Structure 1
Amino acid sequence: MYIHLGGDKIIRSSELVAIFDITIEKSSKISKQYVTHAMENKTVEVIDEEESKSIVVTKDIVYYSPISSSTLKKRANVFFANA
């Protein structure tokens, strides 16, 4: 199954590690360090030019998505409920 992250970006649900609200970047020192490390390694992708609302972590890439984390979690749960 696949999860649409916004724009034209779709990922395999098997690659999904975590979905976070964008506010975690400011409230958690560890998550900020993780994203900074990913940026240094050029494994961050910003989807669309709209304001990012969530951070999606996969096995290889960290995505900044314009779709809210609650909507993305619902999309992911549909997959896991049917698996």
Structure 2
Amino acid sequence: MFIHLGGEKIIRASELIAIFDLSIEKSSKISKQFISQANKEKRAEVIGEEECKSLVVTQSKIYYSPISSSTLKKRAHQLLTN
């Protein structure tokens, strides 16, 4: 099963670790360090040109998605319950 993250980016549902609202990027020191490290290692990717609304953490990358975290969570939940 696959989850559409916005733009032309689709990931395997099995790779998904977490979906966060973008506000988490500024809310804690640990999340800032995690994201900073991913950026240094070039494991962060911005999807599309729209304003980013959520962070999607996978086994290999962090994606900045223009789709809200609640919408992405609904998509993931639908896949997991089917």
- Please classify the TM superposition score into its range, dividing by the shorter chain length: over 0.9
Q: Structure 2 matches for 1:3-82, cutoff 5 A?
A: 3-82=3-82
User: RMSD of the alignment, in Å?
Assistant: 0.4
Moved over 3 A (4+): none
TM-superposed CA distance for 1:50, in Å, is: 0.6
Please give the per-residue CA displacement for 1:12-54, whole angstroms capped at 9, x wherever unaligned: 0000000000000011111111000000000000000111000
Q: Secondary structure at the match of 1:33?
A: helix
1:16 partner amino acid: L
Measured in 1, the distance between the counterparts of 2:17 and 2:8 equals: 20
Gap regions ≥5 residues in structure 1: none
- Residue identity (%): 67
2:6 partner amino acid: G
TM-superposed CA distance for 1:66, in Å, is: 0.1
Count of aligned positions: 82
1:17 partner amino acid: I
